[in-house]
């Protein structure tokens, strides 16, 4: 059995008067891929900081095996020197003395993260700066890799690359993420922070829903058993304690302890089961055709976004828009809302269509307004939610805001809270066309589940831009895939279904190319070899062996390409990577030489 490489034993941590962790213990093993889950405020990010050794503990012990390094990607990025290039910033993550031998890894990591190595950090947006920090964390190759929301600001292609990287990582990985698909694909163990306690399951996040339900059912049985015992003890107290007061002091003390624990258990369970609640959305009736693009062209910053693009969006369509960053997804939404105009062609919106737009940049939120004023900009205490009116405080409570926050300014909110407020504003009156641009950023899983349920039942037209595959798959019935350079593909179905079809097509194309190449060589062999009677015996034999030799070299090249396509090869075995790369180059040269010799022999006929 393998030994742990890091452990926490009876750890306690308190912020202010509230204990965050109380006698918490855990162990991390070399091959662990741990998903850390829990509601907002349970201390997930703080747990990663404790594992990283960034907090002084109030009690307990943190132990790390000698020689084990811990790498940490925080949720909030803070860089001291912004006047260095992306390349040099990432290079600083490589151990001293290994810069020359490991610098080639930078090029391998920078490419899928879509970073320009020559840019200064001061020139990067918040999302790109986070990517640079992710690259620096990965390049250091620590034996324990801690990732706090690593998929934030990444597009789907990059997330899928990161998944493969993490799955093949040579070390332990501990990850916090709201992206369910990402956690399901990378994890083999789950840490659940729940009401100050850590629960551990030796199965990945894919099993979390079933496991957590079993835990809650067991808790409910224990609570019911405790309440039954409490009722019996309360009855005993009333009937028999007066006559036997002295000898029953311990039983009486146990009764008080049981009562306190039962009350705490019920209160904690109530908090755990408290979820965001929202009535079904009420769409405004609209015409059957919501929007029509006719032969639309659009260029943005010298990039082709749309080229001769035509499409109809119909009532009740639920459309997911996906694609790499910079392919024009947000520009497409701005064309829909009329904030941008096409260079050519026409965009027609139905006359009765009412558009509600959730903007990922939160421009609809004024940081100086209170939460109250944000929802009731014209004043008053009530806002219209669908067909009824609700008190603003009651509506805020539906989105898990404390009533005391109603008069707080928007500027005091965290990123996740600001997103919740913006969603509350958008979902109060979604209109007949609801457009959501990256609605899942910074949201916890409970909020995401509520939004998924509400949007899945929404009877209006819905357009969502998101990198969250699980979120999209549970809602949409149509996918628009922005491939870049004006190439757009429409698909009736979810992103996962589209991805599977594309993967199958790529495999079929690869197999067909191999078969076509082999067939061509066989036909060449049939046509050419019988004519070799004019050559000497040795040359005839050399010519007859040419097809077999070419085929062998072709197969070897294919094998080497498969080996070199392994995502973890360059990291786990750099010497093998270099060896196979050199062998591939030599084999390709041999193939060229063999073809040349074949042509030479045929010219002698």
| 445-465 per-position pLDDT tens digit | 777 887 888 888 888 899 999
The per-residue pLDDT for 491 is 85
Q: How many CB atoms lie within 10 A of CB 451?
A: 22
Q: Whole-angstrom Cα distance, residue 188 to residue 137?
A: 22
Give a yes or no: residue 377 inside a domain: yes
Q: Please, are residues 465 and 455 in contact by the beta-carbon 8 Å criterion?
A: no
335 with 447, same domain: the answer is: yes
Give a yes or no: residue 282 inside a domain: no
Which of 30, 27, 11 minimizes the C-alpha distance to 68? 30
At residue 72 the predicted structure's pLDDT band, cuts being 50, 70 and 90, is very high
Which of 567, 563, 441, 562 minimizes the C-alpha distance to 166? 567
Q: Which contacts qualify for 229-237: CB closer than 8 Å, 24 or more apart?
A: 229/258, 230/255, 230/258, 230/259, 230/262, 233/258
Residue that finishes a domain, picked among 441, 472, 493: 493
Q: Whole-angstrom Cα distance, residue 605 to residue 598?
A: 11
Q: What is the mean pLDDT of the chain?
A: 81
The per-residue pLDDT for 82 is 80
Give a yes or no: residue 13 inside a domain: yes
26 with 111, same domain: the answer is: yes
- What are the tokens at 434? 């609801």
Q: Say if residue 520's pLDDT is above 70.
A: no
In a 3-state reduction of DSSP, which class is residue 546? Answer: helix
Q: Please, are residues 317 and 462 in contact by the beta-carbon 8 Å criterion?
A: yes
The per-residue pLDDT for 393 is 92
Q: Whole-angstrom Cα distance, residue 273 to residue 280?
A: 20
Q: Please, are residues 134 and 156 in contact by the beta-carbon 8 Å criterion?
A: no
- What are the tokens at 535? 């050559």
202 with 163, same domain: the answer is: yes
pLDDT tens, 309-327?
998 898 889 999 998 877 8
369 with 296, same domain: the answer is: yes
Q: Whole-angstrom Cα distance, residue 283 to residue 553?
A: 63
513 with 399, same domain: the answer is: no
Q: Which of 85-99, 168-182, 204-218, 568-582 has the lowest mean pLDDT?
A: 568-582
At residue 533 the predicted structure's pLDDT band, cuts being 50, 70 and 90, is very low
Q: Which residues pair with 193 in a beta bridge?
A: 198
pLDDT tens, 553-592?
878 887 877 777 666 665 577 678 678 878 887 888 888 8
Give a yes or no: residue 370 inside a domain: yes
Q: Which residues pair with 14 in a beta bridge?
A: 19
Q: Whole-angstrom Cα distance, residue 342 to residue 346?
A: 7
Alpha helices in 114-248 (DSSP H): 126-139, 156-167, 180-186, 208-240
Orientation angle between helical segments 546-564 and 537-544, nearest 10 degrees: 40
Give the position of tokens 């002091």.
249
Give a yes or no: residue 346 inside a domain: yes
- What are the tokens at 24? 């918490």
Percent of the chain with pLDDT over 90: 26
User: Which H helix or E strand runs over 272?
Assistant: helix 249-273
Q: Whole-angstrom Cα distance, residue 503 to residue 464?
A: 24
pLDDT tens, 390-437?
999 998 888 878 888 899 998 888 777 888 888 888 888 888 889 988
Give a yes or no: residue 101 inside a domain: yes
Q: Which of 60-74, 221-235, 299-313, 323-337 has the lowest mean pLDDT?
A: 221-235
At residue 530 the predicted structure's pLDDT band, cuts being 50, 70 and 90, is very low
pLDDT tens, 154-175?
888 889 999 999 999 999 999 9
Task: Output DSSP code: residue 387.
Answer: T
DSSP class per residue in 4-64 = PSEEEEEEEEEETTEEEEEEEEEEE-TT-EEEEE--TTS-HHHHHHHHHT-S--SEEEEEE
The per-residue pLDDT for 85 is 92
Q: Whole-angstrom Cα distance, residue 163 to residue 178?
A: 14
Q: Say if residue 52's pLDDT is above 80.
A: yes
Question: How many domains does the chain fold into?
Answer: 4
Across 376-382, average pLDDT: 90
Q: How far is CA 4 from the centre of its chain?
A: 28
429 with 345, same domain: the answer is: yes
Q: Whole-angstrom Cα distance, residue 46 to residue 51?
A: 9
161 with 74, same domain: the answer is: yes
The per-residue pLDDT for 195 is 77
Q: Which structural domain range is residue 299 located in?
A: 289-493
Q: Whole-angstrom Cα distance, residue 436 to residue 267?
A: 36
Q: What is the pTM of this model?
A: 0.69
At residue 142 the predicted structure's pLDDT band, cuts being 50, 70 and 90, is very high
Q: Say if residue 187's pLDDT is above 90.
A: yes
Q: What is the dihedral of CA 72, 75, 78, 82, to 10 degrees?
A: 90
Q: What are phi and psi of 40, to 5 degrees?
A: -55, 135
Give the position of tokens 């040269």.
589
Give the position of tokens 């997930």.
44
Percent of the chain with pLDDT over 70: 80
pLDDT tens, 258-270?
555 555 555 554 5
264 with 296, same domain: the answer is: no
116 with 224, same domain: the answer is: no
Residue that finishes a domain, picked among 273, 302, 319: 273
187 with 329, same domain: the answer is: no
Q: Say if residue 30's pLDDT is above 60.
A: yes
* Rounded alpha-carbon distances, angstroms, from residue 560 to 167, 552, 569, 583, 595: 22, 12, 12, 8, 20
Q: Name residues whose C-beta falls within 8 Å of residue 77's C-beta, 6 or more positions apart in sequence.
A: 126, 129, 130, 133
Q: Which of 25-34, 408-417, 478-487, 515-524 has the lowest mean pLDDT?
A: 515-524
Q: Say if residue 541's pLDDT is above 80.
A: no
CATH number at residue 532: 1.10.287
CATH number at residue 68: 3.40.50.300
210 vs 287, residue with greater confidence: 210
C-alpha angle 54-24-198 in degrees, rounded to nearest 5: 105
At residue 535 the predicted structure's pLDDT band, cuts being 50, 70 and 90, is low
324 with 243, same domain: the answer is: no
In a 3-state reduction of DSSP, which class is residue 95? Answer: coil
Q: Which residues pair with 391 in a beta bridge?
A: 382
The per-residue pLDDT for 165 is 92
Give a yes or no: residue 283 inside a domain: no
Q: Which of 327-336, 450-459, 468-477 has the lowest mean pLDDT?
A: 450-459
DSSP class per residue in 431-486 = -SEEEEESTTTT--HHHHHHHHHHHHT--SEEEEE-S-HHHHHTT-SEEEEEEETT
Across 180-209, average pLDDT: 91
Q: Name residues whose C-beta falls within 8 Å of residue 571's C-beta, 6 or more positions apart in sequence.
A: 105, 141, 168, 169, 170
Residue that finishes a domain, picked among 467, 493, 519: 493
User: Which H helix or E strand runs over 107?
Assistant: helix 104-113
Orientation angle between helical segments 537-544 and 574-603, nearest 10 degrees: 130
Q: Please, are residues 441 and 305 in contact by the beta-carbon 8 Å criterion?
A: no
403 with 479, same domain: the answer is: yes
For the chain, what is the total number of helices (H) and then of strands (E)? 20, 20
Give a yes or no: residue 281 inside a domain: no
- What are the tokens at 363? 């421009």
């Amino acid at each position: 059995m393998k030994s742990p490489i890091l452990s926490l034993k009876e750890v306690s941590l308190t912020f202010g008067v509230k204990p965050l962790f109380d006698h918490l213990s855990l162990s991390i093993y070399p091959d662990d891929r741990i998903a850390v889950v829990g509601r907002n405020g349970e201390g997930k990010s703080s747990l990663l900081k404790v594992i990283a050794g960034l907090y002084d503990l109030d009690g307990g012990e943190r132990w790390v095996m000698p020689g084990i390094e811990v790498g940490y990607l925080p949720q909030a990025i803070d860089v001291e020197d912004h006047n260095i290039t992306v390349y040099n910033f990432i290079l600083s993550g490589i151990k001293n003395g290994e810069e020359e031998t490991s610098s080639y890894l930078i090029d391998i990591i920078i490419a899928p993260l879509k970073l320009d190595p020559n840019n200064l950090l001061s020139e990067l947006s918040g999302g790109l700066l986070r990517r640079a920090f992710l690259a620096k964390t990965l390049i250091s190759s620590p034996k324990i890799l801690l990732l706090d929301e690593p998929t934030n600001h990444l597009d789907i292609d990059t997330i899928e690359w990161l998944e493969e990287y993490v799955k093949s990582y040579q070390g332990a990985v501990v990850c916090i993420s709201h992206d369910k698909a990402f956690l399901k694909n990378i994890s083999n163990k789950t840490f659940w922070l729940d009401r100050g306690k850590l629960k551990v399951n030796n199965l990945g996040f894919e099993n979390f829903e079933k496991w957590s339900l079993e835990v809650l059912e067991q808790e409910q049985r224990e609570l019911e058993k405790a309440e039954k015992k409490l009722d019996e003890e309360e009855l005993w107290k009333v009937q028999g304690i007066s006559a036997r007061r002295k000898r029953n002091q311990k039983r009486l003390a146990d009764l008080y302890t049981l009562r306190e624990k039962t009350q705490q258990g019920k209160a904690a369970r109530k908090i755990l089961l408290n979820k965001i609640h929202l009535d079904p959305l009420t769409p405004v009736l609209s015409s059957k055709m919501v929007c029509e693009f006719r032969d639309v062209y659009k260029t943005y910053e010298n990039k082709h976004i749309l080229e001769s693009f035509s499409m109809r969006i119909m009532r009740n369509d639920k459309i997911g828009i996906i694609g790499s960053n910079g392919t024009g997804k947000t520009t497409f939404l701005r064309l829909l809302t009329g904030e941008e105009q096409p260079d050519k062609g026409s965009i027609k919106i139905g006359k009765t269509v009412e558009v509600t737009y959730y903007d990922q940049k939160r421009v609809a939120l004024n940081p100086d307004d209170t939460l109250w004023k944000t929802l009731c900009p014209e004043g008053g205490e009530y806002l219209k939610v669908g067909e009824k009116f609700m008190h603003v405080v009651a509506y805020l409570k539906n989105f898990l805001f404390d009533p005391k926050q109603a008069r707080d300014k928007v500027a005091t909110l965290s990123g996740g809270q600001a997103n919740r407020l913006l969603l509350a504003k958008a979902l109060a009156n979604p209109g007949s066309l609801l457009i959501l641009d990256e609605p899942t950023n910074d949201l916890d899983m409970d909020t995401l589940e509520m939004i998924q349920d509400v949007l899945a039942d929404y009877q209006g037209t819905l357009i969502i831009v998101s990198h969250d595959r699980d979120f999209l798959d549970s809602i949409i019935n149509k996918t628009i895939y922005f491939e870049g350079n004006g190439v757009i593909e429409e698909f009736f179905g979810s992103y996962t279904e589209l991805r599977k079809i594309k993967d199958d097509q790529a495999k079929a194309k690869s197999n067909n190319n191999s078969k076509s190449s082999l067939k061509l060589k066989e036909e060449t062999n049939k046509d050419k070899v019988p004519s070799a009677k004019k050559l000497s015996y040795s040359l005839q034999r050399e010519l007859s062996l040419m097809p077999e030799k070419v085929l062998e070299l072709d197969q070897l090249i294919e094998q080497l390409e498969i080996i070199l396509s392994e995502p973890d090869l360059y990291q786990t075995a750099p010497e093998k990577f270099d060896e196979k790369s050199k062998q591939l180059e030599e084999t390709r040269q041999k193939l060229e030489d063999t073809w040349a010799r074949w042509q030479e022999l045929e010219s002698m006929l």
